[in-house]
């Protein structure tokens, strides 16, 4: 939870020939990415003032004030967009930003360490925690449901899991 910035989207390259860009939003309400402007790149060195023009397949066409040409837009392909944590809305008690879960220790209800959250995956049917086993490169996908993960304690940086039988 120490990260001051959260990744809220990515630039997919140029859209058209007038310097517009394709934006993929990672926000729960995709259009909200515009309200967090100005956004920064991963290093925080570059600012992007974003204005959505229209919805397109898999995202939005947008204008970025700092982008003047198709070549400038193409040069930004793959750049991740970050918003300051203070720009983002507060979440209810049972919701978390993915960035807050990465790195948390996962233990079962008996206190046995199962691993560490490597990443959070969202393939549309529900979130999965990719848990890296201790001392190994092996990972296990744990459903991020109230049944399988009854407790997330950000204060102690731990996730209490009750995984399905045979998963670990």
The predicted-structure confidence for 41-87, as pLDDT tens digits, reads as follows 999 899 999 999 999 998 999 999 989 999 999 999 999 999 998 88
What is the Cα–Cα distance from 59 to 52, expressed in whole angstroms?
A: 10
Residue 72 φ then ψ, to 5°: -60, -40
For residue range 3-37, list pLDDT tens digits in order.
688 899 999 999 989 889 999 998 888 999 999 98
Closest of 81, 56, 54 to residue 66, by C-alpha: 81
Structure tokens at 53: 């023009």
What is the Cα–Cα distance from 132 to 64, expressed in whole angstroms?
A: 38
Decide if 65 contacts 5 (C-beta within 8 A).
no
Is the CATH number of domain 98-161 2.30.30.240?
yes
**Considering the entire predicted model, what is its pTM?**
0.74
Torsion sign, CA atoms 114, 118, 124, 126: positive
In words, the CATH class of domain 5-86 is: mainly beta
Domain with CATH 2.40.30.60 in the chain: 5-86
Domain with CATH 2.30.30.240 in the chain: 98-161
- Counting beta carbons within 10 angstroms of the beta carbon of residue 60, is it exposed (0 to 12), middle (13 to 18) or buried (19 or more)? buried
In sequence order, the β-bridge partners of residue 61 are 22, 54
For residue range 71-81, list pLDDT tens digits in order.
999 999 999 99
């Amino acid at each position: 939870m120490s990260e001051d910035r959260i990744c809220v989207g990515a630039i997919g390259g140029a859209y058209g020939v007038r310097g517009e860009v394709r934006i993929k939003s990672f926000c729960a309400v995709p259009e909200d990415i515009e309200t967090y402007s100005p956004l920064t790149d991963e290093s925080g060195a570059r600012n992007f003032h974003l204005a959505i023009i229209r919805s397109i397949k898999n995202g939005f066409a947008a204008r970025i004030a700092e982008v003047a040409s198709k070549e400038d837009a193409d040069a930004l392909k793959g750049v991740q967009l970050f918003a300051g944590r203070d720009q983002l809305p507060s979440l209810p008690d049972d919701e978390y930003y993915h960035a807050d879960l990465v790195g948390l220790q996962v233990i079962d209800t008996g206190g046995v360490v199962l691993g560490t959250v490597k990443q959070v995956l969202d393939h549309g049917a529900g979130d999965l925690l990719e848990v890296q086993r201790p001392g190994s490169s092996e990972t296990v996908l744990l459903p991020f449901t109230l049944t399988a993960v009854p407790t997330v304690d950000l204060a102690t940086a731990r996730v209490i899991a009750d995984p399905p039988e045979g998963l670990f």
